[in-house]
């Protein structure tokens, strides 16, 4: 096609399609219509007060059977404004360019004055109504007549001018006639609840009236972080009460937030019960008092999952749905600063309020452990305070490292159970690294506490350090040890005689993971035919066997070593092996349960035989 043949057309917008898009994809619920109307009223009052700071600032919502009106004493619109701003979707008077294209600087300037900026908010009313009427009188031009704009959801609108008496003073009255399926959102009780939800912190009076003229004020009391209080205790109490009313929990503590550059104030409430770190708390974010979202996680860094915030800011930037914050450098900076504030709180309580710190750790330690692995600062701050299971009992790593400059850590809970009594008797300090995250965290202790060393503890290392018995004792026990090896060979286990503390421990089963996997593989290969048996067989490696270590210092073992009767010696070995197995607290295989059973019956039989 040649240039000469070109003709220019203007896009047509299918308003019904657009409203459908907004209601299903932009807004979370039809209820946002009221937020958009309140917000327009607030912006209009802001604009009027810029001209005349003494102008009245009132918003009245009337919820009746068949219609809903929102009236404000704001700046109003002239007929030219109505043509310009109401008749064009996407045009907004709140941009300094007068509704023209978005310019970065102007946008930032208008954003600090107004909540709206996109020029689509009024469309949210079409989610609940087919017709919107805007009756308005400009404060900027007192001689201008009142103007009525009537728009319908099919995209048509009419404009008429009315005598000034149609609206007694400057301002705007928006009327919606709800559709049958939108009526539930404009019912009086619903409207009161919604107006409270969105408008509780609005700085201008907001009233909801019913058909009989009963007025309900939905705001008025300043939030506790703005109100004066008689004492710090009264202030703390007021903050906690606000949390209980708003979030329905009593916080462990309240952290006040104050960020003057964005006019942000509010509170971070420390949750009193544990939460999974992936379930980030939704924060309540108000913009110039108007509630933007009560589920905004993006206000704080991920690691701060243990607090829930309520903030009110002057210049945060919402997305077009107004239900989330626009992710930009300002938001990132706000997040970092608020995060730093929460860290300061943690540092503060770790230095000066140990009782609160312990309460905090008791509730949130698992989640803190999960996050500390990825958050170096959190790790540095909290690792010394986190509780771990150790040979000294349940203690913090800091306490433990003070007593043990070399921190030994096992890889599994079982290994800890196996070696803990012996290591403790030998004065060694071992941490159970078997629980989720624990071993990783213990290994990072030297970063936080230079001079501490952390070493993985393998049960084999422990045997290597157990004392050998003298050759004469070994020889005297030779026959018993031979029987013992025969009995436990079926479990791929070896038997050795050593001398170790505590004396009360007759035996110890050292069984590292590779040895166990190897045995499991061996068993499986035995049950499988053909290809799988070959594959499993070829995987078989020379892994160390398990070891039953008998304690020559233990009187029972000494007596067992001198048993002459073969049957009783077998039973004694089975009982010793079974007891060591139970101490290791690992799941038993069928053959092991059978052994335990046999040993028990054998001992009983022997005891009764003696009696007989």
Ligand X SMILES: Nc1ncnc2c1ncn2[C@@H]1O[C@H](COP(=O)(O)OP(=O)(O)OP(=O)(O)O)[C@@H](O)[C@H]1O
Q: Which is nearer to ligand X, 182 or 506 (CB)?
A: 182
Euclidean distance between CA atoms 526 and 87, whole angstroms: 82
Task: Assess 116 for contact with ligand X (CB under 6 A).
Answer: yes
Among 46, 60, 92, 547, binds ligand X (CB under 6 A): 92
Candidate list 46, 93, 110, 396; residue touching ligand X; CB under 6 A: 93
Select 326 or 532, whichever has its Cβ closest to ligand X.
326
Q: Which region among 36-44, 142-150, 272-280, 501-509 touches ligand X (by CB under 6 A)?
A: 36-44
- Cβ neighbours of residue 159 closer than 8 Å, sequence gap 6 or more: 79, 82, 83, 87, 147, 148, 149, 150
Which of 193, 252, 194, 254 lies closest to 223, judged by CA? 254
Q: Which residues, at least 6 apart from 228, have a Cβ–Cβ distance to it below 8 Å?
A: none
User: Between residues 123 and 448, which has the closer beta carbon with respect to ligand X?
Assistant: 123
Q: State both tokens at 411.
A: 């890889």
The tokens describing 183, both together, are 């009526």
170 binds ligand X (CB under 6 A): no
Nearer to ligand X, 36 or 323 (CB): 36
- Helix then strand then coil, in percent of the chain rounded to 5, is 45, 20, 35
Binder among 77, 281, 310, 561 for ligand X (CB under 6 A): 77
H-run or E-run covering 597? helix 590-611
Nearer to ligand X, 40 or 293 (CB): 40
Smallest distance from the beta carbon of 356 to ligand X, in angstroms?
42
Closer to ligand X by Cβ: residue 95 or 586: 95
Does the footprint of ligand X cover residue 85 (CB under 6 A)? Answer: yes
Q: Which ranges of 255-353 would DSSP assign to H, the alpha helix?
A: 329-352
Chosen residue from 31, 94, 335, 369 binding ligand X by CB under 6 A: 94
| Distance, CA of 38 to CA of 208 (rounded, Å) | 12
Contact call for residue 40 and ligand X (CB under 6 A): yes
Task: For residue 118, state whether it binds ligand X (rule: CB under 6 A).
Answer: yes
Among 41, 128, 370, 572, binds ligand X (CB under 6 A): 41
Give the neighbor-by-neighbor strand order of the sheet with 290-296. Answer: 254-259, 264-270, 307-313, 283-287, 290-296
**Longest pairwise C-alpha distance within the chain:** 122
Is 438 annotated to bind a ligand? Reply is: no
Closest to ligand X by CB, 36 or 389: 36
Residue 584 binds to ligand X (criterion: CB under 6 A)? no
The region of 40-48, 226-234, 430-438, 496-504 touching ligand X under the rule CB under 6 A is 40-48
Q: By C-beta, is 27 or 416 nearer to ligand X?
A: 27
By CB under 6 A, name the one of 172, 175, 280, 418 that touches ligand X: 172
* Stretch of 73-81, 409-417, 530-538, 555-563 contacting ligand X, by CB under 6 A: 73-81
CA distance 106 to 83: 22
37 vs 575 by CB, closer to ligand X: 37
Is 7 annotated among the ligand-binding residues?
Answer: no
Is 120 among the residues that bind ligand X (CB under 6 A)? yes
Minimum gap (Å) between residue 201 Cβ and ligand X: 19
117 binds ligand X (CB under 6 A): yes
Q: Which is nearer to ligand X, 133 or 391 (CB)?
A: 133
Contact between 121 and ligand X by CB under 6 A: the answer reads yes
- d(C-alpha 83, C-alpha 148), whole Å: 11
Question: Is residue 122 a contact residue for ligand X (CB under 6 A)?
Answer: yes
- The b/e string for 144-163 (b: 16+ C-beta within 10 A; e otherwise) is bbbbbbebebebebeeeeee
Q: Minimum distance from CB of 241 to ligand X (Å)?
A: 33
- Tell me the C-alpha distance between 461 and 190, whole Å: 70
DSSP characters over 190-242: HHHHHHHHHHTT-SSEEEEE-TT--EEE---SPPTTTS--SSHHHHHHHHHHH
61 part of the interface to ligand X, by CB under 6 A: no
Q: How many CB atoms lie within 10 A of CB 549?
A: 24
Judged by CB under 6 A, how many residues of this single chain contact ligand X? 22
Residue 293 interacts with ligand X (CB under 6 A)? no
- On whether the CB atoms of residues 76 and 236 are closer than 8 A, the answer is no
Least Cα distance to 315 among 333, 297, 341 occurs for: 333
Residue 86 binds ligand X, judged by CB under 6 A = yes
Selected range binding ligand X among 35-43, 326-334, 354-362, 393-401, rule: CB under 6 A: 35-43
161 is annotated as contributing to ligand binding: no
Is 36 among the annotated ligand-binding positions? yes
Q: How far apart are CA 308 and CA 251, in angstroms?
A: 9
Please state the residue numbers annotated as binding site for ATP. 36, 40, 72, 172
List contacts with ligand X (CB under 6 A).
36, 40-41, 44, 72, 74-77, 85-86, 92-94, 116-122, 172
Please state the residue numbers annotated as binding site. 36, 40, 72, 172
């Amino acid at each position: 096609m040649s240039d000469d043949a070109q003709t220019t057309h203007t896009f047509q917008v299918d308003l019904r399609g657009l409203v459908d898009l907004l209601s299903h994809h932009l807004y979370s619920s039809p209820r946002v219509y009221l937020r958009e109307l309140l917000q327009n009223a607030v912006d209009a009052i802001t604009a009027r007060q810029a001209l005349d700071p003494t102008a009245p600032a009132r918003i009245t919502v009337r919820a009746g059977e068949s219609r809903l009106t929102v009236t404000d004493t704001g700046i109003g619109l002239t007929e030219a404004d109505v043509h310009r701003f109401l008749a064009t979707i996407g045009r907004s008077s709140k941009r300094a360019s007068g509704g023209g294209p978005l310019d970065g600087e102007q946008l930032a300037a208008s954003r600090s004055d107004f909540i709206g900026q996109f020029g689509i908010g009024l469309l949210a009313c079409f989610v609940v109504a087919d017709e919107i009427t805007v009756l308005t009188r400009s404060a900027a031009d007192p001689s201008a007549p009142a103007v009525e704009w009537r728009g319908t959801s099919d995209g048509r609108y009419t404009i008429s001018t009315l005598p000034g008496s149609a609206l007694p003073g400057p301002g705007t009255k928006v009327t919606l006639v709800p559709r049958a399926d939108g009526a539930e959102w404009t019912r009086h009780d619903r409207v009161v609840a919604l107006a409270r939800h969105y408008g509780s912190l609005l700085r201008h009076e907001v009233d909801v009236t019913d058909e009989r003229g009963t007025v309900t004020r939905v705001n008025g009391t300043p939030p506790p972080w703005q109100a004066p209080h008689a004492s710090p205790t009264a202030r703390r109490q007021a903050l906690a009460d606000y949390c209980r009313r708003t979030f329905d929990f009593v916080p462990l503590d309240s952290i006040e937030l104050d960020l003057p550059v964005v006019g942000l104030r509010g509170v971070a409430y420390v949750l009193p019960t544990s939460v999974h770190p992936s379930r980030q708390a939704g924060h309540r974010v108000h913009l110039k008092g108007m509630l933007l979202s009560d589920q905004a996680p993006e206000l704080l860094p991920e690691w701060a999952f243990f607090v829930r915030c309520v903030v009110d800011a002057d210049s945060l930037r919402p997305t077009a749905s107004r239900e989330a914050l626009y992710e930009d450098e300002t938001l990132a900076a706000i997040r970092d600063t608020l995060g730093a504030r929460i860290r300061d709180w943690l540092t503060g309580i770790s230095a000066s309020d140990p009782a609160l710190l312990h309460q905090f750790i008791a509730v949130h330690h698992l989640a803190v452990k999960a996050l500390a692995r990825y958050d170096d600062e959190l790790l540095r701050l909290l690792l010394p305070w986190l509780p771990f299971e150790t040979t000294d009992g349940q203690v913090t790593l800091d306490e433990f490292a003070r007593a043990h400059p070399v921190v030994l850590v096992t890889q599994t809970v079982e290994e800890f159970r196996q070696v803990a009594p012996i290591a403790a008797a030998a004065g060694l300090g071992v941490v159970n690294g078997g629980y989720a995250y624990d071993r990783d965290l213990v290994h990072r202790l030297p970063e936080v506490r230079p001079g501490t060393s952390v070493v993985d503890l393998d049960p084999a290392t422990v045997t290597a350090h157990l004392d050998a018995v003298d050759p004469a004792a070994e020889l005297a026990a030779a026959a018993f040890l031979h029987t013992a090896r025969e009995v436990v060979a079926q479990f791929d286990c070896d038997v050795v005689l050593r001398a170790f503390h505590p004396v009360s421990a007759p035996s110890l089963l050292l069984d590292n993971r590779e040895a166990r996997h190897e045995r499991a593989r061996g068993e499986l290969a035995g049950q499988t035919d053909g290809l799988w048996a070959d594959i499993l067989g070829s995987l078989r490696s020379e892994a160390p066997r398990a070891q039953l270590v008998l304690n020559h210092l233990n009187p029972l073992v000494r007596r067992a070593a001198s048993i002459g009767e073969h049957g009783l010696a077998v039973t004694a070995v089975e009982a010793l092996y079974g007891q060591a197995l139970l101490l290791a607290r690992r799941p038993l295989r069928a053959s092991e349960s059978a052994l335990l059973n046999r040993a028990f019956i054998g001992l009983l039989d022997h005891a009764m035989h003696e009696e007989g």
